C-alpha cells in the first residue's frame, strides 16, 4: 500500500519516538511551541525537497560519492529556507539562530535520503518525506507544549495566548536541556507501554 509510506512516519516509525533521530535540534528548539512549529516546517520543506530530488537522481548518482551528493542537495534546500526565513520571518529566524543552518546535519534528513529516497520511486519518497516531516512536527510540538506550559505556566503561539498564565512559580528546569530529556522519556514510556499492552491483548 502506497499510503503506508506516508502514515508510517506519523506514529509507527515516528522519527523522534521510534527512530530516535534529530534529537539535537529537538532538545534545543522545543522550549516554545512557535519555535517548534517554525523549525518543523523548515525541516518538512527540506526533507520533502531532498527526498524528491535524491529519488529523481538515484540511478544517476555514483554510489562512491552518494553522501557528498546528498549533502549538497540537502544544504541547498537548507540555505534556501535560511534566506527566505531571514527575509520574511526575521524574528523566528533570530530565535532559531544556528539551528536553521544546522538542519543540514539533521540525521532524519540524511537518514531518509540514504535509507529510503536513494532506493525508492519519486512518489514513494515524496510520501515518505511528508510523513516523516509531519511525524517530526508531531513529536517536537508535543514536547514543546509540555515544556512551554510547565516552564512558563502559559502558552503563546505567534502572539496568541492559547493558555493564560497558570502559575507564578513555573518549573524552570523544564526550560533547560534536562527538561527536554524528562519529557521525551515520559512520552516514550507511555508510547511503549500502550504498544506492549496492545500487542499482548492480541
Partner 1 sequence: MMESVKRIVRISIPLILICIVSGATLTVSNDLTKERIAGVEQRKVNESLSMIFPGASFNKTGDYYTALMNGEEIGYAFIAQGKGYSGTIKTMVGMYQNGTIDGIYVISQLETPGLGTRIAEPDFTNQFSGKRIEDIRLRQDGGLIDSITGATISSRAITEIVRTRAEVVVNETR
140 binds partner 1 (CB under 8 A): no
Among 69, 103, 117, 126, binds partner 1 (CB under 8 A): 69
Handedness of CA 117, 58, 23, 150 (dihedral sign): negative
**Runs of H (alpha helix) within 31-176:** 33-56, 66-88, 90-96, 107-112, 122-152
Q: Which is nearer to partner 1, 57 or 188 (CB)?
A: 57
Q: Are 39 and 144 in contact (CB under 8 A)?
A: no
Comparison of 75 and 107: residue with beta carbon closer to partner 1? 75
Grid cell digits, residue 63: 554510489
Give the Cα-Cα-Cα angle 151, 30, 4 (nearest 5 degrees). Answer: 135
- Minimum distance between the CB of residue 163 and partner 1, rounded to whole angstroms? 25
Judged by CB under 8 A, the residue of 41, 61, 105, 163 near partner 1 is: 61
State the Cα–Cα distance between residues 33 and 22, nearest whole angstrom: 17
- Other CB atoms within a 10 A radius of the CB of residue 151 amount to 18
Restricted to residues 96-135, the positions that interact with partner 1 (CB under 8 A) are 97-99
Q: Which is nearer to partner 1, 62 or 164 (CB)?
A: 62
Among 4, 12, 20, 72, binds partner 1 (CB under 8 A): 72
Residues lying near partner 1 in the complex (CB under 8 A): 28, 57, 60-62, 64-65, 68-69, 72-73, 75-76, 79-80, 83-84, 86-88, 90, 94, 97-99
Amino acid at each position: 500500500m502506497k499510503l503506508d509510506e506516508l502514515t508510517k512516519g506519523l506514529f509507527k516509525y515516528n522519527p523522534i519516538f521510534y527512530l530516535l533521530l534529530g534529537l539535537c535540534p529537538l532538545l534545543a528548539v522545543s522550549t516554545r511551541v512557535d519555535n517548534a512549529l517554525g523549525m518543523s516546517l523548515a525541516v518538512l520543506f527540506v526533507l520533502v525537497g531532498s527526498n524528491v530530488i535524491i529519488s529523481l537522481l538515484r540511478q544517476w548518482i555514483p554510489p562512491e560519492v552518494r553522501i557528498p551528493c546528498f549533502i549538497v542537495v540537502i544544504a541547498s534546500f537548507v540555505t534556501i529556507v535560511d534566506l527566505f526565513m531571514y527575509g520574511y520571518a526575521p524574528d523566528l529566524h533570530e530565535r532559531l539562530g544556528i539551528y536553521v543552518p544546522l538542519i543540514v546535519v539533521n540525521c532524519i534528513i540524511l537518514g531518509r535520503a540514504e535509507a529510503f529516497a536513494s532506493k525508492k520511486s519519486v512518489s514513494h519518497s515524496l510520501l515518505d518525506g511528508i510523513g516523516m516531516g509531519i511525524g517530526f512536527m508531531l513529536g517536537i510540538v508535543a514536547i514543546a507544549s509540555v515544556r512551554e506550559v510547565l516552564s512558563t505556566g502559559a502558552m503563546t503561539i505567534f502572539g496568541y495566548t492559547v493558555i493564560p498564565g497558570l502559575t507564578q512559580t513555573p518549573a524552570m528546569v523544564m526550560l533547560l536541556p534536562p527538561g527536554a530529556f524528562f519529557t521525551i522519556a515520559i512520552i516514550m514510556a507511555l508510547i511503549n507501554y500502550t504498544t506492549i499492552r496492545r500487542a499482548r491483548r492480541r
